[in-house]
Structure 1
Amino acid sequence: MIELSLPAGLLEVLCVGAHPDDIEIACGGTLLELAAAREVRATFVMLTGSPERRLEAAAAAEAFVPGSEVRFWDLPDGRLPAHWGEVKAAIEELASSLRPDLVLCPSKTDSHQDHRLVAELVPTAWRDALVLEYEIPKWDGDLGRVTHYVPVSAENARRKVSLLTTSYPSQVDRDWWDDETFLGLMRLRGVECRQQYAEGFVIRKAVLTLGE
């Protein structure tokens, strides 16, 4: 399996979620690995969320990547496509001030309409960044093939699921929210890249620079 790497130095990371907890569920392990391995400046963006969930999301961002900036928009959960113009304006406002090296966002094939709209708009705003589309396990059963993997240590895999539970107490009574769900998906993605645990992503477009 061919390994790819990110550029050296300070890494500007933008994490975009339609809802609080999307980011940490999908790529919390990746964020823990990045924060442990190098200097990262992260911005977490969520387009929906009640006051209670905003407090949870702010605490989660600090737990996963200390010192992160967190931004919220007050758009209606489950109805983002009906507010296309406002979502587009939010993305453009972010793009006017943020120049990330790496963008983490939902997948264009996600069954949730809010996730899918965010995934469609993000690449139009950050054309020069590496965009990784993340996956979120859910009732819809929309998990598909991924193109790239980020190995996650056993320590960080377990830390991810622990932080999810402590950061989002409002969600722990959901029937799918448990350690087995989160560890299980990371374990399966790990099998696919010969690691114990990993998180999977889709890259739609990338440039391969050929060196000597």
Structure 2
Amino acid sequence: MLSLSGLKVIAIAPHIDDVELGAGATIHHLNNDNQVYYVGLSLPPLIDSHTFMEEFQESSRILGLDKDRIILRNFNPRNLFDARGDILQLFFDLSKDLKPDLVLIPNSQDIHQSHEVVFAEARRAFKYTTILGYELPWNSLDFSMDVFITVDREDVEAKVAAINAYRTQKSRIFFANDIVGDLARVRGKQIGREYAECFELTRLIV
């Protein structure tokens, strides 16, 4: 099993809460021995921003994120395509300034148009970095299960709690019925572990 320690990690959310849904257990797990940066590009529409930011702060605390390593922008959540130049520049700057070892982004088969933008621009900007695409099953017609990261019960419970912190999002189907917990158990069983999260491999730097 490869060791994931001493790394500089950037987790990118096209919409704040995407990372929590796709890689929340991994983020909680990596926070033990790594520097984890959270990059959120947009807030959800039609929700009071103050309320949502309070929810985000609670969620990020549960995942163990350092507030000094949280980078937020407020691009139009419904059309990141128009901001792709600014997003690319942001990613270039992060690559230059932070020199990350690992970047987590939406996977290449994610059909959400804003997620497609983030995937494309991240692949351009982080050329010298390992890139993994996290799994959002409700957005993907296909998914390449290339990398499994073993997590434990505490990590999964933290992920569920972090997602539940977004009380204004409870009506969305993937926030209900412990879907994320069930998926972590399924991914774990696939590799003979109790829990895991699965990622698509975009680039591997060894």
Partners of 1:20 and 1:54 within 8 A in 2 = no
**Counterpart secondary structure, 1:78:** coil
Of 24, 37, 42, 2:36 maps to: 42
2:161 counterpart letter in structure 1: S
Q: How many angstroms apart in 2 are the aligned matches of 1:64 and 1:205?
A: 26
The answer to which structure has the higher helix fraction is: 2
Aligned length: 200
Q: 1:143 to 1:182 in 2, by over 3 A?
A: farther
Aligned to 2:152: 153
Deviation at 1:64, TM superposition (A): 0.8
Q: 1:14-41 CA deviation, whole Å, 9 max, x = no partner?
A: 11110011111111111121223x2x22
Structure 2: unaligned runs, 5 residues or longer: none
TM-score (norm 2): 0.87
In 1, Cα distance between the equivalents of 2:22 and 2:147?
A: 14
Return the letter of the residue paired with 2:135.
E
Q: Cα offset for 1:192?
A: 1.6
Structure 1 unaligned regions, length at least 5: none
1:25 match: secondary structure = helix
Q: How far has the Cα of 1:95 moved from its partner?
A: 2.6
What pairs with 1:117-128 in structure 2 (closer than 5 Å)?
117-128=117-128
Query: Could you give the per-residue CA deviations for residues 76-122 of structure 1, whole angstroms, max 9, x where no partner exists?
Result: 11211133222222222323322111111111110101111101111
- The alignment's C-alpha RMSD in Å is 2.0
Q: Partner of 2:93: helix, strand, or coil?
A: helix
Identity across matched positions, percent: 25
Letter in structure 2 aligned against 1:78: R
* Higher RCO structure (Cα 8 Å, ≥6 apart): 2
Question: C-alpha separation between the residues in 1 aligned to 2:174 and 2:127?
Answer: 35
- TM-score w.r.t. the length of structure 1 is 0.84
Task: Name which of structure 1's ranges 117-126 and 49-58 shifts more when overlaid on structure 2.
Answer: 49-58
Q: Name the residue aligned to 1:114.
A: 114
